[in-house]
Amino acid sequence: MSDGAALAGPDGVLRCPWALSTEDYVSYHDEEWGRPVHGDDALFERISLEAFQSGLSWITILRRRPGFRTAFAEFRIEKVAAFTDEDRDRLLADPGIIRNRAKIDATLANARVLADWAEGELDEFIWSHAPDPAARPAPKTLADVPAVTPESTALSKALKKRGLRFVGPTTAYALMQACGLVNDHLESCVSRTGPAAR
């Protein structure tokens, strides 16, 4: 298939090869992945979805994201923190999400922890772990993209120390990639080189 270098899609544009596996991935890659995400609720959503993704393909989560948003009150921290046992039972029976008891419980517990944080604290906390972009050369192939970094390990430890769950170093790095703390678009990918690139 590929040596992991950027590939041309049907439109002739070079993209990270993973983006071409499904149409859903193309738009996610072009419009979301690697672009800065700010706001406590938005970051709580990403933390939660990355936790649900653990052990699964991201496409499984992406295609259920509307269902997740409906089930978890658009991931508004204050609302999820107030979920009751009845809400938990509803989530465990909801076919629109991944009905994993441990991941559901972690999401509810994380919301309760974050509800006690000051406004903007989660945003500042996560972004304080962003590495210096100048110290990171653009990856040429997928082989140059790590699964874990010292920064993601530090972020994972810091989040766990503050009481958050399902935030291991690999999950933390996926969060950093998705939310733009790092730019892992390949060197020749349109999202790094094109007019819409950051």
* Catalytic positions, written as ranges: 28, 50, 58
With 0-12 CB in 10 A as exposed, 13-18 as middle and 19+ as buried, what is 93?
exposed
Looking from the CA of 69 toward its CB, the CA atoms found within 13 Å total 9
Tokens of 197: 């690139």
Closest CA to 186 of 5, 36, 28, 58: 5
- 117, 91 in Cβ contact below 8 A? no
Closest CA to 68 of 56, 57, 80, 78: 80
